[in-house]
Structure 1
Amino acid sequence: MCNNTCYIKCQKCHQTTGACTLCNDGEWGETCEKTCVPNCKICDKLTGDCRICKPGYWNISCENKCSDPNCHVCSISSGECQACKSGLWGENCQTHCGNCTSGKCGKSDGRCASCQFGFTGQNCSILCNIGNCSSYSCNVNYQICYGCNSGFWGTSCKHKCNQNCLSSCDKSSGNCSSCKDGLWGANCNETCMYNCSTSSCIRSNGSCSSCRAGLWGANCNETCMYNCSPSSCIRSNGQCSYCIPGLWGLFCNETCSKGCSDIGCIRNNGHCYSCISGFWGAFCNETCSDCYSSCDRNNGMCSYCKDGLWGNLCAESCGQGCLHSKCRMSNGYCSPCNSSYWGDRCNKTCNHNCLSCSKVNGLCDACKPGLWGSFCENKCNRSCRSVGCYIGSGECMECGFNRWGNFCENVCSTSCSWGCNRHTGYCLRCENRYWGHDCSNKCNDSKCEQCSLTNGLCSVCQPGFWGLNCKSTCKSDKCLDCNKDTGYCSGCPLGRWGLLCQNMCRDGCPCCSISTGACSYSCPSISGIFFIYYFKYTFNKKLISIAYVTLWHMFYADITSIIHI
């Protein structure tokens, strides 16, 4: 078996020994391991002597260039040119080849193996110009064209084709290859019958290739049925190819069903292409039932139902509790129900105390005012406000005045001035001079106007006092009131200003700023001042000192005698 590989540079080797018998070009030696001299293409395998030089070189060592630059191959022994470069010929390779097909010609005589189209002669230098000879090829010596120009025929293409030929004719006989419209015969001198379509017929016998519209038969002399559309029929038997809309049959003499749409029915069997709305079946002669509009063409099943109906044929009624009387066409299930109904088909009634109930189990979603429970069977606590109570627990949503607890069952402390916290019962605010969750503790200091709700520490002193326990009098007897933390005046009599009201407003200034002494010409009346003082101390003793002190920052009237009433 040949399963061993020859040496790398060996082109052929012995089948049994593997000894190299032929080296690759440019190689020599026992294993083709040696390289031939430069410019040598093939050298002796054993001696290395050059046998064939590369193109353009000669000598046994291929060291000489061919004397003629146009020479492609010269003799290795004499240097004489043996083959010219492509496209040249002659002793010195200086003559160009003619119009040879390959561009190559014989070195000694320039003869071409074959000529390019339109040329002839030994060197293909003679132009084919015999009469109307085409540009393919010719034989000048015998005046023979191998091809004619269009419209000519004959050995030398001297004859014109018949004028009735469509374009060309046979080179040998002059018979037309094809005829102009309306003609037939070898020379196209016969006229086609009028009934042929576009006046064309078969060139050999004159029979019509096809008939004019509305005709049929071998000679196109039969008339198609008037019901054929568009006035066309099968040439061999006169049967209509197509019918005018509304008819069917081989000769279009049958009427389509009235349920067919405007496009009509199939010519072969009368089946409607499509049905008008409300009909079904192959002939659209079956009526859809209570379908909303249309039904399945094949089985009459509705595509959609009218409101209030369901089922394949829309023969079932939706439940009376379905919202807008609509339900699923496939199973009659409603989605959603009217507020007083429940169940898949909304055919069950909610409890009469429910405003609405669950579609799944009938449990109330919302109760009438004042009720709670799964079926709204329980009454809310009377202390709940009018918004009622939660449906699941009966706990009040909001409590009435002075009530607290989940069910508003507890009463706020009587000491609470603004009610109490709904969940803890703690007072939201105490009367002046009281503190604690239930406002049962008196403020610790006698001069305290209001104290902290949680620890009893004084937050607001009575007018004229200051300090942590409100035991100190204002730092100046001229103060109408003073700051709780510093004791400095927060209100001065009319015409005075400063931390101790020790400064007099400048002349002509009725009242001025307590902090800067800047003059103000809009001072409040004495009656207004007296009303504020009277309201603070005699009406309900609730803390309004913030408004009182702020007002005194705006004006400074000398009403000491009024304040000490």
Structure 2
Amino acid sequence: MRVSCMFYICRHAVCIVYTSNGDFRKLKLRFQTLKKMWTEFCVLSLLVPCASGFVNLAYTPTQKLQGTANMSQPSQKPAWSAGNAVDGNTDQELLTTCAVMDYSKTYSSVWWKVRLQKRFNVAYVVVYFRRSTIVRESGYSLYSFDDGEDFNSSYPNPQNLIFRHDPLLGCPDSTQTVTVNRLSREIVFYNTRPSNYMTNCLNDSRVKTTVEICEVKVMGCDENRFSSNQCNLECNWSCKNQNCDVFNGSCIYGCNDSNALTVDCLVCQNGQYISNRQCTLCKGHCKDRAPCNKLTGRCDNGCSNYWTGDYCDQCINGYYGNNCETECGKCLHMEVCDKKNGTCYHGCMNHFREPECAVCEDGYYNDTCSATCGKCANNKPCDKATGECGNGCKTNFEPPFCQICKPGFYNSATNCISGCGHCKNGAICDNESGRCPGECELYFAAPYCQVCEDGFYNETCSAACGKCANNAPCNNITGQCRNGCKTNFEPPLCQECQDGFYGIICNGTCGNCANGQPCDKVTGKCLNECKPHYKFPYCKVCEDRYYNKSCEAKCGNCLNNKPCDKENGNCTMGCRSHFMPPLCEVAMESQTGDSEDKPNTGAIAGGIVAAIIIIVIVGLAAFFLKRRQGVNRDPTGHFQIVSNDRKKGSKRNKYADISDNSLERFQEEHTNEALSRDDGGYYNTAEITTYIRTQDLHRVILEKNKKENNVYLDEYKRLPLGNTDKCKIGQQKENIVKNRFKTTFPYDHSRVILKEKWTDNDNDYINANFIKNCNGDKAYIAAQGPKKVTLADFWRMIWQENVKLVVMLTNIVENGKNKCTQYWPEKDKGMDVGPCKIKLLEETEYAFHTYRKFTVQQNNSNTRTIAQFHYTAWPDHGTPEELGLVQFHRAVTKKYQTGGLMLVHCSAGVGRTGTFIGLDSLLQHGRKFGRINVFEFVHKMREERMTMVQTAEQYIFLHKALLCGFQENDTVIKEDIIPTKINLLLQDSSPLNQRALYKEYKMLQTLKLTYDDKDTEDGQTTDNKAKNYDLKILPVSKYRPYLTTYIKGRNDYINAVCVPSFTAPGSFILTQYPLKDTEVDLWRLCMDHDVNALIVLGDTNEQGVSWIPQKGSTSYNTPYSLTTGNTGSSISGVTQDTLVISIEDQRKELDVYYIPFGNDNAILKGVELLLEKEKQHSFTSVIMSKDGAERVGVFCVLHNVLQQLRMDKEVDIFTAVRQIQTRRPEVISKLEEYRRCYELVPVSISEDGIYANM
């Protein structure tokens, strides 16, 4: 057992007793019991009271030390004065030994201070608050002032601040130790309540504060002494004014010698630098032979030519040799050659000769050996620098390069054996393609001028083709038509008509020439005479109204001027009135009775009737179509009003939305339309058309969300507000206490009515409503989060409605306010509510939600099982990440697919609740029908419960979350098929753009979020630009970790982002290698964010990094000291070390893993080691690569999917990548990285892989 005395006072000592197993406990022992022990551990001398090395400068009577205390307001009682806090009594319950103000007064700003007898070298301060009222001290600050510095209570100087309690982190500790390490005369406790004061400390007042301090110890040494060995060492005379660090004696206030550069006041000669607290020769070759930096050993003005590295002691990439002046050859994949002998380890780039890869292989030339030699004579190689053929070219090639053909020849690929065509004016064709530079000779076809144009043939292309079938060209040498002639032309040349036809296109048929003679094939005339009854010279039939053999006789008065028979002249259809048939040439005498035209009136009447019928039919069709126009029905049965502009559109699109349903449905629609118009309402059709096809949702969001014309805000304003006239039951006196908020009540017509009473005082009221889904079915209960007084009502509702699924969207406490009463028991504990006995069977925590499973039993009834999905990442103000909520929704629907009502609640049961119900119902509807109407569904929800989807921000977010949901791919792989499924993906040999893995990768790039300059503005400020490795990779401000440790000249920025694991929201911090000026920020990050491990993803041939000291050594990065342990090890390529970061009395130990990224075994082992560490406690790891984006993604994805596999027996690499890209879009930006994620998973689940050991 080891005892360490922390401090001593007159009545008792408080010690920490360490047992053999590493546990410790505080003991309060009587002084008499410890007196002997104390003598052994404490050496009493001036300002040296005990083993801690420091004395209480505010109160040590034996040293005649007594500080003077006072405070800003009078004590509540005279016995509770300011001086009680420096009387040596640390009792935190006894009021008479504490300094206590009157808390009944409303003091918005208070202070208490102790002034020491003189200036001391103060190490730390211990404040003992009154334990029972510690909440009143929340948000306090401590200040230290030296001689000549005054405390201004209106605006305390922030440079004197030594500690501030953050009220957003909860209540303060009752005992607080704060490091000072300053020359001080006065210590001030200060607290205030500004108007914007925020707190998460329960019961903390936002308007007033007080002083309730039982003791303040100011521990330290005399002004020129320090506590290396019980304050008995003086500060070094080399320190300025002989003032030094109270803990280690270093000269933190400067040195007497202006040439000293460190806190040790070492002075090195030119050519030396400080390493391990001594002067060492510079390592490298600085530019212009300048000496290295005496503090760091680095070359501040750069390296000499061809040298690089932090110390300019390595050849730059691409050079090798003793002086680094010989340039490397062209190594494969641009790898660096051996910096001693120039050898390329993995071979050369194409066409370079191994092993130095400095010259081309035979047959290639130029600097990159990318040019192919020409056709040199006798197949000799060309000159490897110029490409010239020294011994001439092959036949028809042009010297000296022999790459192209001589003039008059072309096509080097066929050895220039082709001659040019008939170029106009004897021009020379292109020597590679054979094209003529201008036109061809007449009737030759451009561009090669080798063959005739279509329509011409023979060697000179001077003959025109005949009339070939289908206008095809003839053979350009013989002129023959390959596929025959056009109709009536004579094959094979198709130049003239066949016998019996004439005309330019032979479409005229010869007349009835005498003796069967053909007519003229151009004019169609018969050469001699015609057959009888035909007219010469064309020998055609008689024209209308003429007849007989020579077509010279004129027809009579045929009825309706019809032609007569062309042979005998008879009117075959009858005569006009009063003329004699058959020739109708002679008029008859007048007769009474019906005329000859009488029988034709029936035909006329019939025509009129038919016309009337047609008009009636067209009119009826127009009537129904007019009724139809402008009203369409989607698959849900809801109407969509089409704008007037659309009605005026093209006829082709006019009825595009009318489906091919039966007449019965057609009539039904018009009936409904008529009913809908009876309400007398008028709508601006452009405003009411809010149906969206799911494939158009992304475009619609971009259009509607434009800042200058935000349609969403207009839509949101048109949603109905809450109508309290419909909520009479909720406003009844006995029910007011059951409402969490004063203006949120359930509508009477849709409220949940509790029918069963558990006590005599129960009534039927609970603040909850039934909500219908898109199909109009009752599917949800939207409820407020239960209060203590409604806990039984909440479970009455669950039991009555047989609820099997509860979705909770709030945390119990948010921003210091109670949002919901916990209505379930802790693990392994029961809870009785009325007649119900509730047990928690299962509780599984994920990064953004918790899954719980309860059993509920009432009396002797059957036990019911209830699943609860608790979303824990919804911010108190604003909205969560779309992808996070969609993944939560997927978890809900994956584990719970049975029927029944879904109970959804947040705090008020309207905002988050409405948003989630909208997401669930609209996703189902959109996946089934391909279209959604968000406005209409939110409108309908608000008819069931007031203000569902409570803010415009939530309304916009709902659209974006739906888009994210519709973009989901089925990329989940169950545990039992992982090897088979992934092998199929990796071994796909189809064209790249058809491979499933490639399509997934391209989809990731499409879905990747894009951030504008405002999102990353912190990294672009003047102070921060130089802190980024790559200005294209900047942290999104809302995801970056802020640095809080104060260091002069530094701000809160580091290029890093916080990324979740599968089980915790802040497991990883992704960051870049530190630059020369940002190393100190890395150590601030580790201290400020309680980092447990540092994962360095380096190159295969790197041996550690310069900013972490070598094993067993210490380096300094003011104000931090860094010490690496002696017990590091290496396993499967992973180098393990421990690193201790110290600043003053703070000490942080973390694990360091150096992992060569090119080594698969090392990556897998690194993930395994980290997963094993995370089993023990919550764990934060910094994952590093040179730019903070490349490499880190693969490591995090592999880690997260293995966690998913362990918890859910499945993996989803696609979604794991997408989750990280939400925070750091630049990760997994290459197909090779995405493929590597898939390659590593099967290896990790093999018999000897990570998963086997999880």
Q: What TM-score does the superposition give when structure 2 sets the normalisation length? A: 0.17
Q: What TM-score does the superposition give when structure 1 sets the normalisation length? A: 0.31
> Which has a greater percent of helix?
2
Q: Which has the higher contact order (CA 8 A, sep 6+)?
A: 2
**Max Rg structure:** 1
